[in-house]
Structure 1
Amino acid sequence: MDYSFDGSGGYRVPTGVAGLDVQLGGGVPPGTTILLLAEPGAGMEVFAHQFAYGGLVNHEDVFYFSSEHPLSEVISGMDYFNWNVRKHLEEGKFDFTDAYSPRFYNVLPKHLVSDVSAKDFLKRGTDSLNLLKGTVTQARTRKYRGVVDSISYFLRSYELNNVLNVIEIISSMGKATGAVHLLMMTSGMHEPIIENNMKHICDGVIEFRMKERGSEVERSILLRKMRGMIVPNRTISYVITTKGVELETTTRVL
Structure 2
Amino acid sequence: MDYSFDGTGGFRIPTGIAGLDVQLGGGVPPGTTILILAEPGANSEMFAQQFVYGGLLNNEDVFYFTSEHPAQEIVHEMEDMKWDVEKFVEDGHLQFVDAYLPRFYGVLPKEFTSELSAKEFLKKGIDSMTLLKTAAKQPREQKYRGVVDSISYFLRAYDLNNVVEVIEMISSIGKATGAIHLILMTSGMHDSITENTLRHICDGVIEFRIKERGSEIERTIMIRKMRGMLVPNRTISYMVTNKGIELETTTRVL
Query: In the alignment, which residue of structure 1 is the partner of 2:198?
Result: 198
How far apart in 1 are the matches of 2:14 and 2:86? 22
Query: In the alignment, which residue of structure 2 is the partner of 1:213?
Result: 213
Query: In the alignment, which residue of structure 2 is the partner of 1:29?
Result: 29
Alpha-carbon distance, 1:253 to partner? 7.7
How far apart in 1 are the matches of 2:35 and 2:112? 34
The answer to whether residue 121 in structure 2 is matched with residue 107 in structure 1 is no
The answer to whether residue 173 in structure 2 is matched with residue 173 in structure 1 is yes
Alpha-carbon distance, 1:252 to partner? 4.3
Query: In the alignment, which residue of structure 2 is the partner of 1:118?
Result: 118
The answer to whether residue 73 in structure 2 is matched with residue 73 in structure 1 is yes
Alpha-carbon distance, 1:104 to partner? 1.0
Q: Which residue type is aligned with residue 179 of structure 2?
A: A
Query: In the alignment, which residue of structure 2 is the partner of 1:5?
Result: none
Query: In the alignment, which residue of structure 2 is the partner of 1:6?
Result: none
Alpha-carbon distance, 1:119 to partner? 1.3
SS in 1 for 2:181: strand
Work out whether residues 37 and 207 of structure 1, in 8 Å CA contact, stay in contact via their aligned partners in 2.
Answer: yes
Q: Deviations over 1:190-243 (max 9, x none)?
A: 000000000000000000100000110000010000000000010000001011
Alpha-carbon distance, 1:112 to partner? 4.0
Query: In the alignment, which residue of structure 2 is the partner of 1:3?
Result: none
The answer to whether residue 47 in structure 2 is matched with residue 61 in structure 1 is no
How far apart in 2 are the matches of 1:110 and 1:44? 30
How far apart in 2 are the matches of 1:115 and 1:95? 16
How far apart in 1 are the matches of 2:220 and 2:206? 10
How far apart in 2 are the matches of 1:111 and 1:67? 19
RMSD, aligned α-carbons: 1.2
Gaps of 5+ in 2: 1-8
How far apart in 2 are the matches of 1:16 and 1:242? 15
Work out whether residues 237 and 251 of structure 1, in 8 Å CA contact, stay in contact via their aligned partners in 2.
Answer: no
Query: In the alignment, which residue of structure 1 is the partner of 2:238?
Result: 238
Alpha-carbon distance, 1:106 to partner? 1.2
Query: Which shifted more, 77-86 or 161-170?
Result: 77-86
How far apart in 1 are the matches of 2:183 and 2:112? 30
Query: In the alignment, which residue of structure 1 is the partner of 2:5?
Result: none
How far apart in 1 are the matches of 2:126 and 2:249? 46
Query: Which shifted more, 109-118 or 234-243?
Result: 109-118
The answer to whether residue 45 in structure 2 is matched with residue 45 in structure 1 is yes
Work out whether residues 235 and 252 of structure 1, in 8 Å CA contact, stay in contact via their aligned partners in 2.
Answer: no
Query: In the alignment, which residue of structure 1 is the partner of 2:90?
Result: 90
How far apart in 1 are the matches of 2:226 and 2:211? 24
Query: In the alignment, which residue of structure 2 is the partner of 1:229?
Result: 229
What number of residue pairs does the alignment pair up?
A: 246
How far apart in 2 are the matches of 1:42 and 1:129? 26
Scaled by the length of structure 2, what TM-score is found? Answer: 0.94
Scaled by the length of structure 1, what TM-score is found? Answer: 0.94
SS in 1 for 2:132: helix
Q: After superposition, where does 1:135-154 map in structure 2 within 5 Å?
A: 135-154=135-154
Work out whether residues 65 and 99 of structure 2, in 8 Å CA contact, stay in contact via their aligned partners in 1.
Answer: yes
How far apart in 2 are the matches of 1:208 and 1:253? 20
Work out whether residues 31 and 176 of structure 1, in 8 Å CA contact, stay in contact via their aligned partners in 2.
Answer: yes
Alpha-carbon distance, 1:111 to partner? 4.8
Query: In the alignment, which residue of structure 2 is the partner of 1:163?
Result: 163
Query: In the alignment, which residue of structure 1 is the partner of 2:10?
Result: 10
- Sort the Cα spacing of 1:225 and 1:124 in 2 relative to 1 into closer, same or farther, 3 A: same
How far apart in 2 are the matches of 1:179 and 1:112? 33
- Sort the Cα spacing of 1:64 and 1:111 in 2 relative to 1 into closer, same or farther, 3 A: closer
Work out whether residues 10 and 26 of structure 2, in 8 Å CA contact, stay in contact via their aligned partners in 1.
Answer: no
Runs of 4+ that moved beyond 4 A: none
Alpha-carbon distance, 1:249 to partner? 2.5
Q: Which residue type is aligned with residue 137 of structure 2?
A: T
SS in 2 for 1:130: helix
